[in-house]
Every structure is written in C-alpha cells, then in structure tokens.
Amino acid sequence: MRLPQVNFAMLAESLGAKGVVVNDRSELMNALEEALNTDKAYVVDVHIDPRTVLIPYQRLYGISTL
C-alpha cells in the first residue's frame, strides 16, 4: 500500500513555520544550515534516494554508494 505524498514543507508554512522541500542531496546541506540558523520552527521535507550516501559519510568513510 502506497501512502499519498504529503508536502510537509507546505503544511509547516500553513501553520506559521518555515518549510522547504529537498529533492536532491546537493540541496540538503543548504537547507539544514538555513533550518539551524532560524529562530522559527523549520521543516526540511527530504525526497532523495535513500541508497545514495550523504556527503559526511563519504568524507568520513570513503563510501561512494550503498
């Protein structure tokens, strides 16, 4: 059973928070930095392939893919 896709970023904004949708891992670090540097509630709705390895793991362990 597939669940319907919910845009959690838009939902957050409708409730007065800040939200952003991330579709590519290259966008993730900027979104996280922005979220950490705000004084508002912030939702980062991430839609990236879970089989890809994020940059910190590449740097720490030399991993290229899972």
User: Tens digit of pLDDT for each residue in 42-56?
Assistant: 999 998 887 765 655
Looking at residue 54, its pLDDT comes to 61
Looking at residue 55, its pLDDT comes to 59
Looking at residue 17, its pLDDT comes to 97
Cα→Cα distances 30→14, 40, 62, Å: 22, 16, 22
User: Tens digit of pLDDT for each residue in 2-52?
Assistant: 878 899 999 999 999 999 999 988 898 899 999 999 999 999 999 888 776
Looking at residue 3, its pLDDT comes to 73
- Say what the pTM is: 0.69
